[in-house]
């Protein structure tokens, strides 16, 4: 899987605002890390993202493009995307306090 790595951190795409989630709506792991989308977000060229998605995934719905952000996570860190009412966040496995019955 193609990922953008800088200084030992991996770029992960999430949509932190309420509404439509990014990964939580399409569940395509490739799009969670897509280097092209990361670079277009960083260079403030969101129109390229819409065109790219329309060509690569015709007919698919991708909400929350206007809220899409890049989070940088240490390479090799286990995480999951959590979502509430479309607002996504990253939860790191080693930061979860599990309860024991």
The SS3 of residue 71 is strand
Residue 90 near residue 73 (C-beta atoms within 8 A): yes
When pLDDT is cut at 50, 70 and 90, the band that residue 46 belongs to is confident
Question: Alpha-carbon Rg of the chain, whole angstroms?
Answer: 14
The average pLDDT across 41-62 equals 89
The average pLDDT across 41-52 equals 90
Specify the pairing of strand 5-6 against strand 79-84.
Answer: unpaired
With 0-12 CB in 10 A as exposed, 13-18 as middle and 19+ as buried, what is 77?
A: middle
Single pTM value for the model: 0.89
User: Domain-by-domain residue ranges, the chain?
Assistant: 5-95
């Amino acid at each position: 899987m193609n990922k953008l790595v800088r200084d030992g951190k991996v770029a992960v795409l999430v949509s932190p605002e309420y509404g439509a989630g990014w990964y939580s709506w399409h569940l395509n792991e490739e799009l969670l890390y897509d280097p092209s989308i990361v670079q277009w977000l960083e260079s403030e060229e969101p129109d390229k993202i819409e065109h790219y998605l329309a060509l690569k995934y015709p007919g698919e719905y991708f909400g929350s493009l206007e809220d899409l952000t890049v989070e940088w996570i240490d390479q090799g860190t286990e995480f999951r995307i959590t979502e509430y009412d479309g607002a996504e966040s990253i939860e790191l496995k080693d930061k979860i306090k599990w309860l024991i019955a």
